[in-house]
Amino acid sequence: MHSELVDLASKIKKQFEGESTGHDWYHIDRVRKLALTIQKNEGGNALIVEAAALLHDVSDHKFNGGDFLKGGEVAKLILENIDINEEFKQQIVDIVNKVSFKGSGEKDEMKSLEGKIVQDADRIDALGAIGIARTFAYGGSIGQMIYDPEILPQKNQDVEQYINERTHTINHFYEKLLLLEGRMHTSTGKEIARKRTDFMKTFLNQFYEEWKDDV
């Protein structure tokens, strides 16, 4: 870890320890490690990547009333106390503001390589076995049913639909998770996402088999 970020990591760990929706410190630390792994292969500034990964969930829109820019505002305040040059700080704030998935019908706004790396890392942690666990943890936290076969997934959701339309957790696989492999920016991210997405498809097949047997 960059020496400038040791205190930041400690602060973020303290803030997110015990969080129960899948957006806990361990998620943040996994994203940090994944992002640095991708950065080693793809290039970019490692300090910006690591700081943005640590701060990417500092005020997530899912928990702050739907404000996608609040995270950047909070990140900017935190960065005031860290010895990083101002240009880097602005790049980090921009990444935090743009990292979130905003709906299957919305285009990604991320421009910088560092931002694309952090976004890939965050999305990778939404996939695979951990991604499945996080998905159901979050779904339960907001009162979503596990599954209702009569409620079909929505396609090409805009940001308002993505935020406000509540269905069931299995739909989230089709409205977001299974789409992420195709929205990876980096070659490294695509390779990791492919394996994890295949595992999720296997899980869904097993889920439907067990659901069919239960009715």
Every domain of the chain and the residues it spans = 3-213
Determine the Cα–Cα distance for residues 88 and 52; give it in Å rounded to an integer. 10
Give the per-residue pLDDT at 144.
92
Question: Can you read off the two tokens belonging to residue 27?
Answer: 């998620």
Question: What dihedral angle (degrees, nearest 10) is formed by the CA atoms of 145, 146, 152, 153?
Answer: 100
Residue of higher predicted confidence among 85 and 35? 35
Of 41-55, 59-73, 143-157, where does mean pLDDT reach its minimum?
59-73
Task: Find the distance separating the first CA and the last CA of the chain, reported in whole Å.
Answer: 51
Residue range 3-213, CATH number? 1.10.3210.50
Interval 66-96: pLDDT, tens: 667 777 888 888 999 888 889 999 999 999 9
Q: Which amino acid is at 16?
A: F
Question: With contact defined as beta carbons under 8 Å apart, do 80 and 40 qualify?
Answer: no
- Do 75 and 58 contact (CB within 8 A), yes or no? yes
Burial of residue 82 (number of CB atoms within 10 Å: 0-12, 13-18, 19+): middle
Task: Please compute the mean of the pLDDT values over residues 109-124 and round it to a whole number.
Answer: 95
Map tokens 């919305």 to a residue.
106
Residue type, 108: D
